[in-house]
């Protein structure tokens, strides 16, 4: 793993973790925002247990207390995760109420391992960078795995095309689409990986 650090001067009581893919991580850092498509009203147990009916049209952001959550839950996820954000849970709790949540309540294989928490927000989680203690980024080979797993999904494919355009790699993307070979994809992945990691490292002053 390539690791970068952000340390804040506050008493640390406990860490929370958020897992995502490298493409999403880039935009999280750049926009200083953590977005979600999960509505509070879509998870009835969350509303019922914490009396959040008045926030039925609000969103929630998921975190976990299990730093290895991605290892035990990867097969149950519908999207690739290869990055781990370590969040200052103590600092987070100064501004937000943190709710426990159990996605796998009917599956004993995961329910005792997920240790999930969430924060309820009106639209999106802004100023996320001030809560980040550590960012862990995948190796190139791990990123290749992420892309291979993700390109079968519409949302990931859209993000992949979008970030290629963002870094001016449209010609390499079109070449990959036209040739549709492993070689052309690997060339594109390598160029994209270099652009993303260089930008993240520059922004975090490694």
- Whether 122 and 150 share a structural domain: no
Number of domains in the chain: 2
CA distance 173 to 155: 17
Q: Could you tell me which residues come within 8 angstroms of residue 43 by beta carbon, excluding any fewer than 6 positions away?
A: 60, 101
- Per-residue pLDDT of 119-152, as tens digits, reads 999 888 999 999 999 999 999 999 999 999 999 8
- Per-residue pLDDT of 142-198, as tens digits, reads 999 999 999 989 999 999 999 999 999 999 999 999 999 999 999 999 999 999 999
- Whether 9 and 109 share a structural domain: yes
Q: Could you tell me which residues come within 8 angstroms of residue 150 by beta carbon, excluding any fewer than 6 positions away?
A: 21, 79, 80, 156, 157, 160
Domain boundary residue, one of 114, 136, 158 = 136
Tokens of 79: 């999207």
- Whether 35 and 69 share a structural domain: yes
Is the pTM of the predicted complex or chain greater than 0.75? Answer: yes
Q: Could you tell me which residues come within 8 angstroms of residue 22 by beta carbon, excluding any fewer than 6 positions away?
A: 82, 83, 137, 138, 143, 146, 193, 196
Residue 76: φ, ψ to 5°: -90, -10
């Amino acid at each position: 793993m390539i690791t970068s650090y952000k340390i804040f001067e506050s008493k640390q009581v406990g860490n929370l973790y958020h897992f995502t893919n490298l493409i999403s991580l880039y935009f999280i850092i750049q926009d200083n925002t953590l977005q979600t498509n999960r509505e509070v009203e879509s998870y009835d147990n969350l509303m019922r247990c914490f009396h959040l009916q008045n926030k039925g049209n609000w969103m929630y952001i998921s975190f976990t207390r299990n730093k290895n959550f991605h290892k035990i839950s990867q097969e149950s996820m519908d999207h690739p995760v290869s990055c781990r954000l370590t969040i200052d849970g103590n600092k987070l709790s100064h501004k937000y109420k943190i709710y426990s949540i159990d996605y796998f309540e009917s599956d004993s294989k995961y329910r005792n391992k997920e240790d999930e928490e969430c924060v309820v927000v009106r639209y999106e989680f802004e100023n996320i960078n001030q809560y980040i203690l550590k960012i862990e980024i995948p190796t190139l080979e791990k990123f290749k795995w992420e892309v291979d797993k993700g390109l079968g999904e519409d949302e990931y494919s859209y993000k992949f095309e979008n970030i290629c355009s963002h870094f001016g790699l449209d010609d390499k993307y079109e070449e990959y689409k036209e040739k549709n070979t492993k070689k052309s994809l690997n060339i594109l992945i390598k160029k994209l990986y270099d652009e993303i990691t260089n930008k993240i490292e520059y922004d975090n002053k490694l």
